[in-house]
Structures are given as C-alpha cells and as structure tokens.
C-alpha cells in the first residue's frame, strides 16, 4: 500500500455547546486548524504517472476549505454536527470520500499538540 498526505490550514471559531458552562471550550473561541488528508492505493492502482492521486487534484479541497471553513463559525458551517475536532475529521471524510475514493483518513489539529483522526473501519 502506498500512502500520500497533504496538509491544509484555516482559521475558524466554534462553541462546543454540549459542555458545562465552566468549561473554556463552551465559550466562543477560535483555532488555527490544520487538516491532513491521507490517500492510499495499492501499487497496481496507481495512475499511469505513478501517483496515488496527483496532488494538484487536491486543489479542489483547498478551495472548498477556503470557501466553506476559513474565517467561518464552524457551528454554522457544519450544521447540526457538534464542531469538535473528532466530528470535523469525520464530517470532512464523509463529504470528500466520494470525490476522492482513495481517501483513507482525515486528521484535524486545533493546537500544535492535539490531533483527532477519523479512519473508517476496514
């Protein structure tokens, strides 16, 4: 199995409204997010150029991030889904797996020391 990753950045706010009032994340706050897409393929499924997928094709995801998430309020962008890092990773995966069938995982970071990852069951 061959795997590629690409990192994307955006800034956004959110409120985790299912937390107790005393919790700092229950208040409006923001993060500088990092999202990493992971795509994988077997050798025999590489493109003619030898790619899992051409990185340039991921420009569509970057445009979507810029248009949908960057400098937005994630509670509004994600609808009824609670905008935790875990839910954000799963939400992105669900939205993009049809466009990128090689997508195997989405990782989301809210801070340099914290990561959430969504990787569906095999």
User: Which residues does 26 contact at the CB level (< 8 Å), separation at least 6?
Assistant: 15, 16, 17, 19, 20
Q: Which of 25, 73, 102, 117 is catalytic?
A: 25
Q: Which of 29, 45, 71, 86 is catalytic?
A: 71
**Residue 102 annotated as catalytic:** no
Rounded to an integer, what distance in angstroms lies between the CA atom of residue 122 and that of residue 120?
6
Rounded to an integer, what distance in angstroms lies between the CA atom of residue 56 and that of residue 87?
26
Single out the residue of 9, 15, 2, 6 nearest to residue 84, CA to CA.
15
Question: 10 Å Cβ neighbour count for 50?
Answer: 8
Rounded to an integer, what distance in angstroms lies between the CA atom of residue 116 and that of residue 34?
10
**Residue 110 annotated as catalytic:** yes
**Residue 25 annotated as catalytic:** yes
Q: Which residues are catalytic?
A: 25, 71, 110
């Amino acid at each position: 199995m061959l795997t590629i990753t690409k990192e994307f950045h955006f800034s956004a706010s959110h409120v985790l409204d299912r937390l107790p009032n005393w919790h700092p994340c229950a208040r409006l706050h923001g993060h500088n997010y990092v999202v990493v897409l992971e795509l994988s393929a077997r050798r025999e499924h590489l493109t003619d150029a030898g790619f899992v997928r051409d990185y340039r094709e991921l420009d569509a995801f970057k445009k979507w991030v810029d248009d949908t998430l960057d400098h937005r309020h994630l509670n509004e962008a994600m609808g009824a889904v609670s905008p935790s890092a875990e839910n954000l990773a799963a939400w992105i995966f669900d939205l993009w797996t049809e466009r990128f069938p090689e997508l195997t995982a989405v990782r989301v970071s809210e801070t340099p020391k914290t990561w959430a990852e969504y990787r569906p069951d095999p």
